[in-house]
Structure 1
Amino acid sequence: MKKQIFTFCLLFLLFINASCQKKDTKSSEIIKPEFDKILDSLNVKGSVLIYDLKNKIYYSNNFSWSKMGVIPASTFKIPNSIIALETGVIESDSTIFKWNGEKRRFKKWEQDLTLKKAFQVSCVPCYQEIARKVGVERMKSYLKKLNYKGMVFDTLTIDNFWLEGKSRISQMQQIDFLKRLYFSELPISKRTENIMKDIMKIEETSAYTLSGKSGWGMRNEINNGWLVGYLEKNNSVYFFATNIEKEETNMDEFPAIRLNATKEAFKKLNILN
């Protein structure tokens, strides 16, 4: 009888301990009105979401926006590149996409591009070629394997579903995916992971390294811009997903605004000086 009581007490304590540990690992959310001021000064609206991994805190000016699904646009080039490498559709980051000589939307796309360069200049035709080669069945299979949800496509939309249509991803989901990539929790080869971490680098200084991917799509006929990624500094990592909207005025500044908004938010948190 004593043995049974002891066993019961031990199990109960283990249960309580496990429950406490689970509670301790839950992340908190802190609203930062300062981020709103940054966006207002840049004449845009939206949300900057930053996740402080060490302290398990999400910071944002608008958590409702950060949990809302939006077309992923060119941020989908991250999973698209992973799938291309894992399936062998693309051999390496130095694989070349041959330009066929046809006029493209941007001059920087009108040349032969390696995978690395195509990713960094966000060459849409290059990644449409990848998607067509991967095909519907393999794309669906790998997205399920990567737990990258919310993509809607078929044979007719395989090469544009991340740019238009019903595909949706939230800022919270973007950060979840990036965390799993960063901490080697995706079911992919180490080689693919290393290639991705290299081609995603945006800025590398003596103080920090900023990695990620931008995206530009439309939501309700309004320009919608993404910048997702992570910042490494002093042996710490911070994940971010910025999603903003801007009316059709002086759109030449739109790409820079996403980066400026994100970096200014990091400054408000005293992470960047």
Structure 2
Amino acid sequence: MRYYLLLILFLFLSCDFHGSTPKRSEEFKNEIEKILAKQDLKGTVLVFDAKNKTYYSNNFELAEKGYLPASTFKIVNSIIALETNVLKDENDSLKWDGQKRAFESWQKDMTVREAFQASCLPCYQEVARRIGVKRMKSYLNKLHLNNMDVNESTIDNFWIEGKSRITPVEQIDFLQRFYTKKLPILNSTYDKMLRVFEKERTSEYIYFGKTGWSQDNNHNNGWFVGMIDKKPNVYYFALNVEPNDQKNTSKFAAGRELATREILKLFQIL
């Protein structure tokens, strides 16, 4: 009897929350590698076909490796801020304090949506400070994001430096739990966050995406994560890459999204 109970538990834990174990495929490995190389990138891309429960990647080993979340954490930061009323909605104003910022485009008052899309680091550092350590840790626990190193000294930088880590697999898991309303958040937060997150809408699909870039000990690492709602299917993606030459990042800013879009076209998603 005990044996059968253990067997049932193992089968349950080995499945995703839809009740079946997703398949894995490296069918387009060579094509993905060529697309990354065109942008002077190396790393991994993970695409999840939700309808057919299949993961595609050029490197599943790297897809299970943890990296600093960088600005992809703005997704989580926004959700927690909306849940705690630190931010009211996508049109709430984030005021510029008049101090010089890394980019001139950040030197103005911005709406939440504008700050998210422009990846305004100082804006979201202020948001994190207003959330505070106690509430941040509480919500990270509720959201099952337990590898974030949050304390009083790291509250406004833990996603861009230090010990915090997230894997491409975990990025997709979180995005899927968010988009299928499996997170313990209000429906109003969900609706507001979709309006913050959306990049593009056509008659065929809705496209959500967020970049991230960290420089840990002068080592550049970058993300592009998101999802494509192309009814009746939804596709989730997480790209994590670094430049082939760490001293040459001329293509890195734009290359992450360009490469991802080419890969999504390869899969006939875009």
TM-score normalised by L of structure 1: 0.88
2:251 partner SS: helix
Q: Which has the larger radius of gyration?
A: 1
Give unpaired runs (5+ residues) of structure 2. Answer: none
What residue in structure 2 maps to residue 29 of structure 1? 24
Q: 1:109 aligns with which of 106, 121, 135?
A: 106
The answer (yes or no) to whether the contact 1:49–1:66 under 8 Å persists in 2 is yes
Alignment partners' CA distance in 2, 1:141 and 1:46: 32
The answer (yes or no) to whether the contact 1:228–1:240 under 8 Å persists in 2 is yes
The answer (yes or no) to whether the contact 2:92–2:111 under 8 Å persists in 1 is yes
Alignment partners' CA distance in 2, 1:185 and 1:25: 17
The amino acid across from 1:165 in the alignment is G
The amino acid across from 2:259 in the alignment is A
Shift of the alpha carbon at 1:238? 0.2
What residue in structure 1 maps to residue 51 of structure 2? 54
Q: CA RMSD in A?
A: 2.1
Shift of the alpha carbon at 1:255? 2.5
The amino acid across from 1:229 in the alignment is G
Shift of the alpha carbon at 1:37? 1.3
What residue in structure 1 maps to residue 84 of structure 2? 87
The amino acid across from 1:37 in the alignment is K
1:189 to 1:178, Cα distance in 2 relative to 1, 3 A: same
Aligned residues: 258
Q: Does 1:194 align with 2:191?
A: yes
Q: Deviations over 1:144-195 (max 9, x none)?
A: 0111121012101110000100000000000000001100111111111011
Shift of the alpha carbon at 1:250? 5.2
TM-score normalised by L of structure 2: 0.89
What residue in structure 1 maps to residue 211 of structure 2? 214
Q: Does 1:121 align with 2:88?
A: no
Q: Counterparts in 2 of 1:1-273, with a 5 A limit? A: 25-31=20-26, 32-33=28-29, 34-219=31-216, 221-246=218-243, 247-248=245-246, 251-272=249-270
Give unpaired runs (5+ residues) of structure 1. Answer: 1-7
1:207 partner SS: coil
Shift of the alpha carbon at 1:133? 1.1
Alignment partners' CA distance in 2, 1:149 and 1:117: 28
2:77 partner SS: helix
The amino acid across from 1:102 in the alignment is Q
Shift of the alpha carbon at 1:248? 4.3
